[in-house]
Structure 1
Amino acid sequence: MHFDQKENRPVESEAAREGSIPQIARSLPDDTWHAALGRLYDVALDPLHYETLIDVWEDAVGPMRKRADAFNTTLLNDPEIAEHFRRAGEVLDRVMPENIEEEITRILRPFGRVPAFAIDGRMRIRAVNTVARVQLGAVDGGILTDLPILGTEIASIRNAVAGLAAEQDHTAAIMRVRTGEDGRFLILRLQRFLMADQSPIVVVAANDLKFPAQGQAVLRDAFALTQAEAEVLHALVDCGSLTEIATKRGRSLDTIRSQIKTIMSKTETRSQVELVRLALSVVEISQVSPPNAAPESKGRSVKKLTSFASKTLTTPEGRRIDYFVLGDPMGRPILYSHMALAMPRWPASAEAFAHRRGLRIIVPIYPGYGHTTPAPRKSDYDAVLLSDARRVLLAENVTRCPYVGVAGGSYFAFPFAHENPELISGILCGGGMLPDLDHTTYDGMGKWHRFIVGGAKYTPHLLSFMVKTGFALTRRIGKIGFLNAIYSGSEADKETYSDPDVLEALLIGSEVGLSEGISAHDAYVRSMIGGMLKDWSALIAPVTARIPVIFFNGLQDPQVPPAAVEQMLRNHPQIDFRVYPDAGQLILFRHWQDALEVLDDLTRA
């Protein structure tokens, strides 16, 4: 394989195109295999193509999965396929300047609620947030003329961006532009940032022009305007046409011009453009909440998570283990396993409830996540993870407690309870899976979960590229964008993280998996390909015979579909299944009060 000099994409040799289809894939139509291979390199060059790879990959692997043995088959276990994945991984490393993308993503992060995008000095859109992608159709690598803004306004935006990029004294500007679709006005707020290499980037945040109810009073008081002058300025900001203002107010055009001249004098502005910018800036400043003001909650709690440093212990071998203690630091203990997706924090309301109930939720950070030392390369990852959890409990002087697991990570509760019978008083699994599920479980999964979880089970040797590219995609589209993608088929999960409490917990908690200087993709892979998806059914009977085991499962879970829940209910009557039609994979965050009530009881067992 070599790189096309013009398009910077890998070019397959004639042998690769015609003669290198691995023998194990010969049962697939050639076009299906070539499509999957092509998408593989497309994703390596640009992770934004990730979803297209998921779709094509399912076309290729889905039929093979249906014929595979549940526990004794590794699909596509062919050195040529592994070599393509290795090459694609090299391409990803070569073309993804992660440090720059991380920096731009971090700059855009505070603009999560409004459309925002970053433009470089060449007027190229370097990155967009999810809101801009949806509302403005903006895309990474796009240009300004792609936006739904009136063509005559684009030159003004270019000039403003160029001015800010070159200006040393001024770092921000505000503009009013008209859209090309329906002629409505947008307010653009431009702000210059300097990258680590000192190159400028300009972030453009957009809002529909909605003059607040108190806007006239703010302008009147700020500039000693009369009520009539404040109304004219309001109208100027809203529509911009003096003729239209005169018509609506029943005044002559000369009267309106005279009033505007007076307003410009009082505001010490030299043009209508400058006047409008000043008016918008003053009104915007007036709407900034004081530091102690409570944001609107729309009926939901908007408490902030308590900030605290993680605790740390060092093993005799020199490994560092970090862990959190949520709730009451002196309360009755609960061991919580945060799953591979990294959800170590609970919603603020849940952590406050735990504190009131006297519950201490202990959260060991998985090996390779956050600042916890990775498991040694040739070690058994599962064994290191479970050993770390035991060490943390001993450090916290815990003699007995319940174990909480999430999704596929619920697996770890069973070997831990089996190996440490004196420590565990019960198990609660949120969105848990059991090992005796067949290929129909994977067929019923959401496509994102099937791609990763199915990949871990049937093509574990290829999982590293799949996961690393998923992490790269998250850096490109942001964590909210990634949540929107993986939970696109679960209305319950989307509704769950629309709660500000839950979203805050997910975003802050996930920093141990992906944040500046941290990428736990290798640890994620190792946690998935250990014992989790193998046949560990022999652990179920002895554990359930000794302690209560409770499963919370939602019928909108993209990883554990309803048919899988029904199968688990039939096969395991000894487990207390509690099924919630209104929940998905994030069931513990949606029904955290029910979960904590159960855990409260288990701490007393």
Structure 2
Amino acid sequence: MRGDPESDALDAERARLIGSIYEVVLRPEHYDAFMEDWSDFVDQAARRLGELRISDTSSTRQLEDPVIEAHFRRAFALFERMGRGETIVPGASAADPPLVRIAREGTVSFAGPEAAEIFGSPVTLDAIRDALEPDSAARLKGFLSAFSRAPSSGRFAVLSLAESGSEATASLPGGGLVSITSLRDPEGDGFVTELRTMNVGWTPALARVLVESFRLTPREVDLVHELTRGGDLPAVSQRTGRSLNTLRAQLKSVFSKTRTGSQPELMRLVGAVMLHGPDRENQVDTPAGDGGGDERLIELGEGRKMPVMVLGPEDGLPVVFVHGMLEGLGCLRHVEPALYQAGIRLYAPMRANFGNSYVDPRVRDAPDLFARDLARVLQVLDLPRVVVLGHMAGAIYAYAAAARLGASVAGIAGVAACVPIVSIEQFATMTPRQRAVAYTARFAPALLPAVLRAGMAQIDSSSPQRFMTPLYSRGSRDREVIERSHIGQSILEGYRYTVAQGQKAFQIDAWHVTRDWSALVVGSDCPVLLIHGVMDPVVSFDSVRVFAQRYGRMHLEEIDHEGQLLLYSQPEKVVARIAAFARKCLTGED
């Protein structure tokens, strides 16, 4: 595009895009509109270039626009200067109305329908104080007094509702914990304070404390986690598919072990552990430990440390799970019950730049560096031979590990796995949002940091679901899957895990998944099992079939009526197939 007089003029299309990138810097909720503008722009630019080549040779044409590039660089600099924004209260979503909004002078300016059930009607400041534990009532008084003297955003405190036995209190996320936060008035000038229900920010450390301090079983920890999300036992039963009688028996056991007598009392105990527990400020919320998994911190040398989540029976078949680039370890809590049923011991390393793993900015060498790290992990954990499971983009790193580690890798399994990009048509089958990011990563890499940073702002915002939902078309199988609340929440937690250290992890993986990495595939000769949904909107089933037919050692299993998220929607079926494959690779048994 460079040198074209039309491309140098600031036409209406480019002017709209430039305005859009600056708008999303200031307003993360503008991300959808920005991505629509960017998708239109990059699609048209690709068409103007004619036939795009996918090789890395000097003949490869790039989408170049110095004006757009300059503005995207400035927008990225603004993002970095502004930082990651105000901390979002765990479990709270500012896109939803608060329980109560209080003006600077202490009057209640808004009360949601739930507030009347908790505080009585009418909702007044005195009624709110009367509903709180005495120490929380005093804390509220001090909070509002300081806010009145010096109104500003960013003040935060946790309050506890008095024991009342009401269903409204018991069914709250957190079981009676509410947060009070000061912020700019969303409906006018100045500042206000808001009371919101407060979910417990779940971490592997919190799960370990419950196990070590109260001897809770993995299933009991899972129940406690579900209760922190809100609702009573019937609601948990409906979300998880576990029987109500089983949940009642487990809750009775939890009450006995924790010496609590009610759900609100239990939630306050968990909240206290959360607020005063080990190294809370440095924990990265990941769903990996939700089912009671164990986290090992492996010393790699040269000051590098890699956390590894370990789940499943101790005597299970050793399988290494290599996570993808977007949802990270989001699926682990959903597959853990299936691991016990199938007899798999799963080891999930947190790759460099993800979560709380170490930082390494190298792009091209990332797959081989992971393989080097995995060799050390297997040595420390005394795992002489394993099957490596690559989920989505993790497949690239699984093949790299097999190429480097040789006989230590008995087989490779790929679930919704990406395949090398050898044809431009592979981009065409993607959804518009996915295709725009893929085109950017492959043909306009200089613009990718700003695009990813805009996405991070949406993930960091109070409405991260607006980042997730457009990735899957309305009416698709995957859209149906993410609309299940417990799955959607796990995927969002995985997104936060991916961007915990910034956009670098996504940027590195996006670079690799949009290229032909076939050289990694031919570096090993172990058997390969590919499990893929026929309705996958990102990596088409046809492209996976062509890929599998290219190599005699690959076996492809299609899952009808499933898309990219089949590991979330069909964990038992997928894990059972992986177990059969791993057993054959590791023991020779069918």
User: Paired residue for 2:77?
Assistant: 90
The structure-2 alpha-carbon separation of the partners of 1:323 and 1:39, relative to structure 1 and needing over 3 Å to count, comes to same
Q: CA deviation at 1:560?
A: 1.7
User: Paired residue for 2:420?
Assistant: 435
Residue-by-residue CA offset, 1:93-135 (whole Å, 9 max, x unaligned):
44x56342x234x3615x99x8658857479xxxxxxxxxxxx
CA distance in 1, matches of 2:235, 2:35: 42
CA distance in 2, matches of 1:577, 1:288: 41
CA distance in 1, matches of 2:533, 2:557: 9
Instruction: Trace 1:329-344 onto structure 2 (pairs within 5 A).
Output: 329-344=314-329
Residue 420 of structure 1 aligns to a residue in which SS?
helix
Q: CA deviation at 1:436?
A: 3.9
The answer as to 2:438 corresponding to 1:457 is: no
Residue-by-residue CA offset, 1:373-405 (whole Å, 9 max, x unaligned):
111558833332222222212211112111111
The structure-2 alpha-carbon separation of the partners of 1:512 and 1:120, relative to structure 1 and needing over 3 Å to count, comes to farther
Q: CA deviation at 1:513?
A: 2.6
User: TM-score, normalised to structure 1's length?
Assistant: 0.64
User: Paired residue for 1:537?
Assistant: 518
Say whether the 8 Å CA contact 1:349–1:501 is kept in structure 2.
no
Instruction: Trace 1:471-486 onto structure 2 (pairs within 5 A).
Output: 471-486=456-471
Q: CA deviation at 1:317?
A: 0.9
User: Paired residue for 1:466?
Assistant: 451
Identity rate, percent: 20
User: Paired residue for 1:421?
Assistant: 406
The structure-2 alpha-carbon separation of the partners of 1:379 and 1:445, relative to structure 1 and needing over 3 Å to count, comes to closer
User: Paired residue for 2:236?
Assistant: 295
CA distance in 2, matches of 1:63, 1:97: 32
Say whether the 8 Å CA contact 1:328–1:360 is kept in structure 2.
yes
Which amino acid is the alignment partner of residue 454 of structure 2?
T
CA distance in 1, matches of 2:73, 2:501: 19
The structure-2 alpha-carbon separation of the partners of 1:326 and 1:74, relative to structure 1 and needing over 3 Å to count, comes to farther
User: Paired residue for 1:589?
Assistant: 568
The structure-2 alpha-carbon separation of the partners of 1:458 and 1:196, relative to structure 1 and needing over 3 Å to count, comes to same
Q: CA deviation at 1:532?
A: 3.2
The answer as to 2:391 corresponding to 1:412 is: no
Instruction: Trace 1:367-386 onto structure 2 (pairs within 5 A).
Output: 367-376=352-361, 380-386=365-371
Residue of 173, 183, 194 corresponding to 1:202: 194
Q: CA deviation at 1:300?
A: 2.3
User: TM-score, normalised to structure 2's length?
Assistant: 0.65
Residue 353 of structure 1 aligns to a residue in which SS?
helix
Structure 2 gap ranges (5+) = 114-121, 130-136, 145-158, 162-175, 185-190, 198-229, 248-288, 586-590
Residue 582 of structure 1 aligns to a residue in which SS?
coil
Say whether the 8 Å CA contact 1:489–1:558 is kept in structure 2.
no
Say whether the 8 Å CA contact 1:375–1:384 is kept in structure 2.
no
CA distance in 2, matches of 1:454, 1:120: 47
Residue 363 of structure 1 aligns to a residue in which SS?
strand
Residue of 506, 525, 536 corresponding to 2:507: 525
User: Paired residue for 1:50?
Assistant: 31
CA distance in 2, matches of 1:461, 1:58: 16
CA distance in 2, matches of 1:294, 1:192: 23
Q: CA deviation at 1:481?
A: 4.2
Q: CA deviation at 1:453?
A: 2.6
Residue 578 of structure 1 aligns to a residue in which SS?
strand
Residue of 13, 16, 36 corresponding to 1:32: 13
CA distance in 2, matches of 1:327, 1:446: 35
CA distance in 2, matches of 1:436, 1:524: 17
Aligned residues: 452
Say whether the 8 Å CA contact 2:321–2:346 is kept in structure 1.
yes
The structure-2 alpha-carbon separation of the partners of 1:191 and 1:334, relative to structure 1 and needing over 3 Å to count, comes to closer
Which amino acid is the alignment partner of residue 594 of structure 1?
K
The answer as to 2:89 corresponding to 1:108 is: no
Q: CA deviation at 1:415?
A: 2.0
Say whether the 8 Å CA contact 1:108–1:203 is kept in structure 2.
no
The structure-2 alpha-carbon separation of the partners of 1:53 and 1:118, relative to structure 1 and needing over 3 Å to count, comes to farther
Residue-by-residue CA offset, 1:74-106 (whole Å, 9 max, x unaligned):
533455443221101123344x56342x234x3
The structure-2 alpha-carbon separation of the partners of 1:589 and 1:121, relative to structure 1 and needing over 3 Å to count, comes to same
CA distance in 2, matches of 1:74, 1:158: 65
Q: CA deviation at 1:319?
A: 0.7
Q: CA deviation at 1:335?
A: 1.0
The structure-2 alpha-carbon separation of the partners of 1:299 and 1:601, relative to structure 1 and needing over 3 Å to count, comes to closer
The structure-2 alpha-carbon separation of the partners of 1:341 and 1:24, relative to structure 1 and needing over 3 Å to count, comes to farther
Say whether the 8 Å CA contact 1:336–1:361 is kept in structure 2.
yes
CA distance in 1, matches of 2:442, 2:415: 21
The structure-2 alpha-carbon separation of the partners of 1:93 and 1:157, relative to structure 1 and needing over 3 Å to count, comes to farther
Residue-by-residue CA offset, 1:330-354 (whole Å, 9 max, x unaligned):
4221011111114325454631231
Structure 1 gap ranges (5+) = 1-20, 124-142, 148-155, 174-188, 206-286
58-67 vs 584-593, greater mean Cα deviation:
58-67
User: Paired residue for 2:214?
Assistant: none
The answer as to 2:431 corresponding to 1:446 is: yes
The structure-2 alpha-carbon separation of the partners of 1:324 and 1:55, relative to structure 1 and needing over 3 Å to count, comes to same
CA distance in 1, matches of 2:503, 2:355: 11
390-399 vs 562-571, greater mean Cα deviation:
562-571
The structure-2 alpha-carbon separation of the partners of 1:542 and 1:368, relative to structure 1 and needing over 3 Å to count, comes to closer
Which amino acid is the alignment partner of residue 32 of structure 1?
E
User: Paired residue for 2:210?
Assistant: none
CA distance in 1, matches of 2:78, 2:62: 24
Say whether the 8 Å CA contact 1:345–1:505 is kept in structure 2.
yes
Residue-by-residue CA offset, 1:119-164 (whole Å, 9 max, x unaligned):
57479xxxxxxxxxxxxxxxxxxx979x9xxxxxxxx889999999
CA distance in 1, matches of 2:160, 2:296: 41
Which amino acid is the alignment partner of residue 521 of structure 1?
Q
User: Paired residue for 1:600?
Assistant: 579
Say whether the 8 Å CA contact 1:493–1:584 is kept in structure 2.
yes
CA distance in 2, matches of 1:42, 1:582: 39
Q: CA deviation at 1:563?
A: 5.3
CA distance in 1, matches of 2:91, 2:523: 51
Say whether the 8 Å CA contact 2:309–2:348 is kept in structure 1.
yes
